[in-house]
Amino acid sequence: MVEHRGLDIMSTPSSSSPSSSNAEKKLFSKLKVSLTKKYPQKNAETLSAQYGANLLLIGVSVMLALAQHGPAVKKEHLLAFITALMLVQLVWMLCYMIQSERERSPVPEKDAHAGTSWIQGGLTMLALLSLIMDAFRIGSFVGYHSCVSAVLGVYPVVHALHTISQVHFLWFHIKDVIKKYETFERFGVIHAVFTNLLLWCNGVMSEAEHFLNNHRRRLTALGYDNVSTVEAEPNCNCSISVCSMFSTSLYYLYPFNIEYHIFVSAMLLVMWKNIGRTLELHSNSKRPSMRSPGLLLGPLLGLLALASSVTVLVVYLIHIEKSQQTREAAISMFYLYGVVMLSCMCVASGAGLLVYRLEAWPMDTGSNPSRTLDTELLLGSSLGSWLMSWCSVVAVAAAGPGSPSFRWTCLVYSLLLVLEKCVQNLFIVESLYRRRTDPDDAPVPEVFSITPAPVVPPYDGIVNRGYETQDKGCATLEGETPENRAAFSRKHSDVTLPVGNQLSVIHGRKRQILKNITIFLFMCNISLWILPAFGCRPQYDSGLEQETFGYSVWTTVLNLAIPMNLFYRTHSVASLFEVFRKD
Amino acid sequence: MVEHRGLDIMSTPSSSSPSSSNAEKKLFSKLKVSLTKKYPQKNAETLSAQYGANLLLIGVSVMLALAQHGPAVKKEHLLAFITALMLVQLVWMLCYMIQSERERSPVPEKDAHAGTSWIQGGLTMLALLSLIMDAFRIGSFVGYHSCVSAVLGVYPVVHALHTISQVHFLWFHIKDVIKKYETFERFGVIHAVFTNLLLWCNGVMSEAEHFLNNHRRRLTALGYDNVSTVEAEPNCNCSISVCSMFSTSLYYLYPFNIEYHIFVSAMLLVMWKNIGRTLELHSNSKRPSMRSPGLLLGPLLGLLALASSVTVLVVYLIHIEKSQQTREAAISMFYLYGVVMLSCMCVASGAGLLVYRLEAWPMDTGSNPSRTLDTELLLGSSLGSWLMSWCSVVAVAAAGPGSPSFRWTCLVYSLLLVLEKCVQNLFIVESLYRRRTDPDDAPVPEVFSITPAPVVPPYDGIVNRGYETQDKGCATLEGETPENRAAFSRKHSDVTLPVGNQLSVIHGRKRQILKNITIFLFMCNISLWILPAFGCRPQYDSGLEQETFGYSVWTTVLNLAIPMNLFYRTHSVASLFEVFRKD
């Protein structure tokens, strides 16, 4: 790195006029030039991240004021703010699309890892459900239009427009690696990220409010509580007949809308991280997906899990509304079901990790912002439900002798929940970071039994990287230590030829086991998403934790943890699908 | 990257026995070997991070239960848990120190960026204040020993022991780059990180409780509120005479103890990130610090800011206890003072950014986990006070006509607070990422007027990196794009020799301006730390936001935002000092 030192010195200004005032004049003219020049990337990132964070915080502070149900801040204000943000995003997306249409380069740079086609398909489905929700909202507005603010009509229209153009944008531009007008585009993308995050927060808040109102109504009916509900019902009668249908159906569509927005913001965040990046060529190659034989046990068990959780959901929702005794029975049933489910998942993930331990497959250390984000999001979103679990454990430990019968099952369930997320995270992270080692894809090992000489020259410690792009350095993050390299060369010398067909069979069997485990975990995570998403939340109903933590603290913890847990489940579903396709 | 493909193939298992059962036997023996082998770094990281996060969450859930003041969970339980964690950390540190003493390698690898000596000095001071606090706690326990749990006596003793050995550990081992027993050490370091974070949380909670109790007592005295305070006073009389002195002084020492723990955990986190890392040689060179002439305006204005904020603190604390009118006057004074202070800081940071725009000094893109963490912590800890500011803005917008006179000053103050943190973050980040360009350090430009040929060969696009460590790749994160490189070569050809003395003068003047700005901001941040740390928190006293958000929401926001803000201030003080030494 000696040459950089030299260049350092040369970067001092090169003007050298004799008089001081002349130098100052030059200085000012230079300032003008500097200000119009490209802004350093690090600063542009910091600046745009700060802009986005503040957008979100403004929205959150309005939401906090709304939660107080005071006279000054109303739902309309929040919706007007969000509508404005969506309009700005619409304008930016339009500009971007027109621009990229006009300046279409022959081979635009694309990040193949960002937004695979099946994720785009899933998103389109979620977007369709969001559109139905918008239609219901518009219908509801038409019914009540005489007594509600016009904002409640404008918002769903803009939201529908926003959804359609955003899906279009994601289909055609999410893989773009932006190289022009970087600072401007950076602001546009981060604006889109945080607009979607705010829409997610808004969805989560509306849903939590609705759920809490339902919960209170139920408690009041049972005689526990006499707090009046504060549902924001309009003050006039609906002019069309299907209004109640609209508002009931809305709450079944909420979970999908919520997941839609959080997924879009994660995808856009990857796009933001890709701005100005220089791609490695090899990391960008697409591989054909292949058929997977021997998939039987995993999907079968997964379907069983799915079916049983739908059953549990229905039974729970019916029984929880009834007397104290059926209530407790329903909660016990849920916890027992959870214990069985989570044990199976722990065993499956553990087995997967064991299979990986059997092989010294190298880790893939290529640059991949999408994967890094996946890992961070998995770990980050686990925190919410871990906190919830530990609170349950503390509550069980603190509970007196008169506490409900399900306390010990609850304890086991909570501890298993912590363990399951730990092991599953490890499994997913390891799967994502493993190199693909499909015999169909690369030259199969048998090739080596015929041609003993390796196809590439042996690694001799020298790689001439002079002509490679400098930027890709960020790729080789942790894995590629010299020691790893030593492992490479060791393996290289280990290859005792000939390698037989046997090997391919064993290899294939391992892949088969991993695929079955992955598909099983995939369906289990869907099951565990369905339950809380559609109202099976025993943490609210059991009353065990509420005794120790008090109503307000425990509700706050749940309102934070449950959305994070829902996101964790959908995100691990997405990651497991990625693993399934790759393995 | 062709050779990697080849190595991929060779990494498939090399066993090739003819019969299937034989192969399975080999498989099992291989499993045994694999399980005792080194665990992949990525997994070890994930696993240890999960362990640490769960430790913290257990502690947080006990704290949440404590906040309820229920009969089951007591302060003793929390202290016993923390004491156990500290003991585990003590044992680990002992093991580590004995081991490193025994296996001392001739030239141990050290990360020069981790924990500079002045940070270690500052930490030692904070640790001394913590020790005094422990002494007071022990004294208080001796006074009340007949009616309080023994845990209250054991805790300060263990804490004192923990503090002493931790400081010793930080002095001699914080720069270590661990290469042996990585997985074990990783757990030890992360345990230490989260033990300190938990101690921080505990300190923050105790302090917030004390402050809220004071606040309520004050409100009750003024006739606003009649909530009885729930201070945890022991039920017996103190057997020694200085008990009340002990408990009063404790709360003046709390701020230092809190900062001590958060700083230690940040430093240890860097050590955790360094585990298994391979250092670049050139990034590790230390430079001698040099004298800085022309430092006058910055320190002078900084001292003025410091003096005025101490005055404001004293006046505020005296007036806030009095009648409604003096209360409002005190709050108005605080906001006015804040507006002036923040405006000056905005201008200073903006000027600093302008100076950077004048020069196209290259960005330093060397690997430096310590710096990356600094940047992330700055941005992350800003979020708390941004949320607080936006809540104030919403509250002012929602306030009716009868609201206090200081509402507009409060609005301006809140907006300036957001702006100031944005601009200051940009300034600090840019300063940290700039290469050092001191003419004393590298060969001065004058050399070039004599020897036209550059000292190093011109950059021709080829850098042979074969023998360099692979790991340093993570260094070249964003800055070193090809375009940046092009700028280098452009500059290179720009050098119109001879470059005169003039240049050095202009360069020196710019450095001087930057140094003055840095020292001014440094002292301003100290001032803004002192105010909330010692009880000047008008956000509690003004009642403006409480009207819009309600008592519980607003208190929650403040209990979250104020510790984050305090950390932000100390952290920016540390970063600015770093910038000052480097520039």
Select from B62, B362, B457 the Cβ nearest to the Cβ of A11.
Answer: B362
The C-alpha of B198 sits at a distance from chain A's nearest C-alpha, in angstroms, of 14
- Note the pLDDT of residue A195: 95
Q: Give B 261-300 residues with CB within 8 A of chain A.
A: 276, 278, 280, 282
The reply to whether A146 touches chain B by the CB within 8 Å rule is: no
Distance from CA of B322 to the nearest CA of A (A): 30
Q: How far is the alpha carbon of B253 from chain A, nearest alpha carbon, in Å?
A: 29
B344 contact partners, CB below 8 Å, separation of at least 6: B301, B305, B520, B524
Half-sphere exposure of A518 (CA within 13 A, CB side): 25
- With cut-offs at 50, 70 and 90, classify the pLDDT of residue B36: low
Predicted pLDDT of residue B389: 94
From the CA atom positions of chain A, what is the Rg in Å?
Answer: 28
Q: Minimal Cα distance from B280: which residue of A?
A: A1
| A263 vs B158 pLDDT, higher one | B158
Q: What is the mean pLDDT of residues B340-369?
A: 84
The reported pLDDT for the residue numbered B51 is: 93
pLDDT above 80 for A482:
no
What lies within 8 Å, CB to CB, of A167 at 6+ separation is: A123, A124, A127
- When the pLDDT of each residue in chain A is averaged and rounded to a whole number, the result is 78
Would you call B473 an interface residue with chain A, using a CB distance cutoff of 8 Å?
yes
Which of these ranges, A249-253, B219-223, B337-341, B549-553, has the smallest mean pLDDT?
B219-223
| pLDDT band at residue A14 under the 50/70/90 scheme | very low
For position B54, what pLDDT does the model report? 93
Chain B contact set for A467 (CB, 8 A): 461-462
Spatial separation of the C-alpha atoms in residues B116 and B95, rounded to whole Å: 24
The reported pLDDT for the residue numbered B40 is 72
Q: Do B470 and A481 touch (CB under 8 A)?
A: yes
Q: Do B437 and A45 touch (CB under 8 A)?
A: no
Identify whether the C-beta of residue A305 lies closer than 8 Å to the C-beta of residue A523.
yes
Interatomic CA distance for residues A467 and B459, integer angstroms = 12
**Mean pLDDT, residues B147-168 taken together:** 92
Q: Regarding predicted confidence, which is higher, A551 or B417?
A: B417
Tell if the CB–CB gap between B498 and A359 is shorter than 8 Å: no
> Which of the given ranges, A365-379, A493-507, A539-553, has the highest pLDDT on average?
A539-553
Counting residues of chain A whose pLDDT is more than 90, the rounded percentage is 33
* Closest CA–CA distance from residue A239 to any residue of chain B (Å): 33
pLDDT category of residue B56 using cuts at 50, 70 and 90: very high
Residue A229: is its pLDDT beyond 60? no
Measured CA to CA, the distance from residue A454 to residue A462 in angstroms comes to: 17
- Crossing angle for the helix pair A369-398 and A407-433, to the nearest 10 degrees: 170
The DSSP secondary-structure symbol of B435 reads P
pLDDT tens track for A151-176: 989 999 999 999 999 999 998 888 88
Q: How far apart, in whole angstroms, are the C-alpha atoms of residue B134 and residue B157?
A: 7
CA distance A293 to chain B (A): 20
Contact A491 B11 (CB under 8 A): yes
B358 or A501, greater pLDDT = B358
Residue B182 burial (10 A CB sphere; 0-12, 13-18, 19+): middle
- Render pLDDT for A427-470 as a digit per residue (tens, 0 to 9): 999 888 876 554 444 333 333 333 333 333 333 333 333 333 33
Residue B115 has pLDDT above 80, yes or no: no
Q: Which residue has the tokens 């300034």?
A: B427
* Interchain proximity A57–B387, CB inside 8 Å: yes
Higher pLDDT, A231 or B174: B174
Q: Is any Cβ of chain B less than 8 angstroms from the Cβ of A490?
A: no
- What CA dihedral angle connects A229, A230, A232 and A236, to 10 degrees? 70
Give the C-alpha separation, B271 to B191, whole Å.
12
Average pLDDT estimate for A416-433: 92
Is A43 in Cβ contact with B430 (below 8 Å)? yes
Cβ of B12 within 8 Å of Cβ of A437? The answer is yes
Question: Could you give the CA distance from residue A342 to residue A524 in angstroms, rounded to a whole number?
Answer: 9
Most A CBs within 10 A among B2, B9, B544, hence the mutation to make, goes to B9
Interface test with B, best of A2, A5, A9 (most B CBs within 10 A): A9
E strand intervals along B194-267:
none
**What are the chain A neighbours of B287 within 8 Å (beta carbons)?**
none
Q: Do B42 and A430 touch (CB under 8 A)?
A: yes
- By Cβ distance, the residue of A73, A379, A437 closest to B8 is A437
Between A and B, how many CB-CB pairs are < 8 A?
A: 404
Quickly state the pLDDT bin for A307 (edges 50, 70, 90).
very high
Judge whether residue A473 has pLDDT over 70.
no
Specify the higher pLDDT residue, B145 or A33. B145
Tokens of B438: 């001191």
The separation between the first and the last C-alpha atoms of chain B, rounded to the nearest angstrom, is 39
Judged by CB atoms closer than 8 Å, whether chains meet at B12 and A462 is answered as no
C-beta separation of B155 from B79 below 8 A: yes
Tell me the pLDDT tens digit for each residue of A512-543: 889 999 999 999 999 999 999 888 888 888 88
Which of residues 380 through 419 in chain A touch B, CB cutoff 8 A? 382-383, 386-387, 390-391, 393-395, 397-400, 418
Measure the CA–CA gap between A481 and B473, rounded to whole angstroms: 10
- Residue A90, pLDDT score: 95
Q: Which of A213-227, A331-345, B114-128 is predicted most confidently?
A: A331-345
Beta bridge partners of A176: A110
CB A418 within 8 A of CB B54: yes
The pLDDT, as a whole number, for residue B348 is 95
A16, A41, A448: residue with CB nearest B479: A41
Q: Test A65 with B507 for CB contact under 8 angstroms.
A: no
Q: Is the pLDDT of residue B369 over 90?
A: no
Tell me how close the Cα of A483 comes to any Cα of chain B, in angstroms: 10
Tell me, what amino acid is at B379? L
| B4, B480, B549: residue with CB nearest A68 | B549
Q: How far is CA A68 from the centre of its chain?
A: 30
Mutate to test the interface with A, among B19, B21, B68, B440 (most CBs of A within 10 A): B68
**More confident site: B142 or B118:** B142
Q: How far apart are CA B309 and CA B316, in angstroms?
A: 10
Q: Is B441 on the interface with A (CB under 8 A)?
A: no
Task: Identify the CA nearest to B427 among candidates B561, B309, B267, B580.
Answer: B580
- Of A139 and B323, which is predicted with more confidence? A139
Query: B503 or B375: whose pLDDT is higher?
Result: B375
Stretch 316-355 of chain B: residues touching chain A, C-beta under 8 Å: 354
Per-residue confidence (pLDDT) for residue B438, from 0 to 100: 46
Cross-chain CB nearest to B473 (options A466, A475, A502): A475
Question: For residue A6, what is the nearest residue in chain B, using CA coordinates?
Answer: B456
Q: Is B229 on the interface with A (CB under 8 A)?
A: no
Over residues A310-340, the pLDDT tens digits come to: 999 999 988 888 888 888 899 999 999 999 9
Please tell me which of the candidates B465, B502, B549 has its beta carbon nearest to residue A65: B549
Contact check, Cβ <8 Å, A548/B73? yes
ipTM of this complex prediction, to 2 decimal places: 0.75
Cβ–Cβ of A53/B383 closer than 8 Å?
yes
Distance from CA of A580 to the nearest CA of B (A): 19
Contact B254, B129 (CB under 8 A): no
Mean pLDDT comparison of A207-216, A386-395, B17-26, highest-scoring range: A386-395
- CA nearest to B376 within chain A: A46
- For residue B273, the tally of other CB atoms under 10 A from its CB is 18
Residue B441 pLDDT exceeds 70 = no
Q: What is the pLDDT of residue A80?
A: 94
Best interface-test mutation with B: which of A5, A8, A177 has the largest number of B CBs within 10 A?
Answer: A8
Is any Cβ of chain A less than 8 angstroms from the Cβ of B57?
yes
Please check whether residue B58 touches A, CB under 8 A. Answer: yes
- Residue A530, token pair as written in the block: 């369905």
User: Per the CB < 8 Å rule, is B34 touching A488?
Assistant: no
pLDDT of residue B301: 93
Long-range CB contacts (< 8 A, 24+ apart) of B123-128? B123/B167, B123/B170, B123/B260, B123/B263, B123/B264, B123/B267, B124/B167, B124/B171, B126/B256, B126/B257, B126/B259, B126/B260, B126/B263, B127/B163, B127/B164, B127/B166, B127/B167, B127/B260
Interface contact A560, partner B, CB < 8 A: no
Burial code (b: 16+ CB inside 10 Å, e: under 16) for A263-293 equals bbbbbbbbbbbbbbbbbbeebeeeeeeeeee
pLDDT for the residue B479: 40
What whole-number distance in Å separates Cα of residue A517 and Cα of residue A354?
A: 12
Evaluate if pTM is beyond 0.90: no
Helix (H, G, I), strand (E, B) or coil at B468: coil
Contact call for residues A246 and A156 (beta carbons, < 8 A)? no
pLDDT for the residue B173: 86
Please judge whether A14 and B358 are an interchain contact, meaning their C-beta atoms are less than 8 angstroms apart.
no
Cβ of residue B7 closer than 8 Å to a chain A Cβ: yes
- In angstroms, the CA A159 to CA A151 distance is 12
Higher pLDDT pick, B81 / A468: B81
Any B CB within 8 A of A33 CB = no
